[in-house]
Amino acid sequence: MLNSDPPDHGRLRRLVNRAFTARHVERLRPRISAITAGLLDDLPARSEVDLLASFAFPLPITVICELLGIPTSERDDFREWSTTVVSNTAIPDVMYAHATAMVGYFRALLAAKRHEPTDDLLSALITARDSDDSLSEDELVSMAFLLLVAGHETTVNLIASGVLALLLNPRELDRLRADPSLIGGAVEELLRYTAPVSHATFRCAAEPVEIGGVWIGRGDAVFVALSGANRDPARFGDPEGLNLGRDSSGHLAFGHGIHYCVGAPLARLEAEIAFAALLDRFAGIRLAVPAESLRWRPSTLIHSLEALPVRLEPASPAGAAEPAGGIPVRWDA
Ligand code: HEM
Q: Look at residue 163 and tell me whether its pLDDT is greater than 80.
A: yes
Backbone angles phi, psi at 282, to 5 degrees: -120, 120
Return the ∠ at Cα 133 (arms to 132 and 138), rounded to 5°. Answer: 145
Would you say the CB of residue 159 lies under 6 angstroms from ligand 1? no
Backbone angles phi, psi at 49, to 5 degrees: -140, 145
CA distance 243 to 245: 5
Percent of the chain with pLDDT over 90: 75
- Comparing C-alpha atoms, which of 82, 187, 228, 94 is closest to residue 144? 82
The minimum-distance atom of ligand 1 relative to the CA of 147 is 30
**Which of the pair, 272 or 134, is modelled with greater confidence?**
272
- Among the residue ranges 76-80, 90-94, 135-139, the one predicted with the least confidence is 76-80
- The residue type of 156 is V
b/e code 125-142 from CB counts within 10 Å (16+ = b) = bbebbeeeeebeeebbbb
CA distance 163 to 11: 37
Residue 328 belongs to what H/E stretch? none
CA distance 182 to 128: 41
Would you say the CB of residue 128 lies under 6 angstroms from ligand 1? no
Residue 85 pLDDT class (50, 70, 90 cuts): confident
Q: Give the 3-state DSSP-derived string for 144-182, with helices as H, strands as E and coil as C.
A: HHHHHHHHHCCHHHHHHHHHHHHHHCHHHHHHHHHCHHH
Would you say the CB of residue 266 lies under 6 angstroms from ligand 1? yes
Report the DSSP pairing between strands 282-287 and 221-222.
Answer: unpaired
- The residue type of 8 is D
- Comparing C-alpha atoms, which of 60, 21, 35 is closest to residue 265? 21
**Which of the pair, 216 or 74, is modelled with greater confidence?**
216
pLDDT value of position 256? 95
161: CA distance to ligand 1 center in Å? 17
pLDDT value of position 135? 85
What digits encode the pLDDT tens for the residues 239-261? Answer: 999 999 999 999 999 999 999 99
pLDDT value of position 318? 54
Would you say the CB of residue 13 lies under 6 angstroms from ligand 1? yes
197: CA distance to ligand 1 center in Å? 8
- Please report, in angstroms and rounded to a whole number, the separation of the first and last CA atoms in the chain: 44
Q: For the chain, what is the mean pLDDT?
A: 90
What digits encode the pLDDT tens for the residues 227-242? Answer: 999 999 999 999 999 9
What digits encode the pLDDT tens for the residues 256-310? Answer: 999 999 999 999 999 999 999 999 999 999 999 999 999 998 888 899 999 999 9
Q: What is the pTM of this model?
A: 0.92
Which of 261, 269, 301, 305 to mutate for ligand 1's pocket (most ligand atoms within 8 Å of CB)? 261
Would you say the CB of residue 63 lies under 6 angstroms from ligand 1? no
Which of 154, 158, 226, 270 to mutate for ligand 1's pocket (most ligand atoms within 8 Å of CB)? 154
218: CA distance to ligand 1 center in Å? 26
Q: Look at residue 322 and tell me whether its pLDDT is greater than 50.
A: no
What digits encode the pLDDT tens for the residues 178-210? Answer: 999 999 999 999 999 999 999 999 999 999 999
**Helix, strand or coil, per DSSP, at residue 183:** helix
Would you say the CB of residue 145 lies under 6 angstroms from ligand 1? no
Task: Determine how many CB atoms are found less than 10 A away from the CB of residue 228.
Answer: 13
Kindly give, in sequence order, each residue whose CB lies less than 8 Å from that of residue 185, ignoring residues fewer than 6 positions away. 244, 245, 246, 247, 248
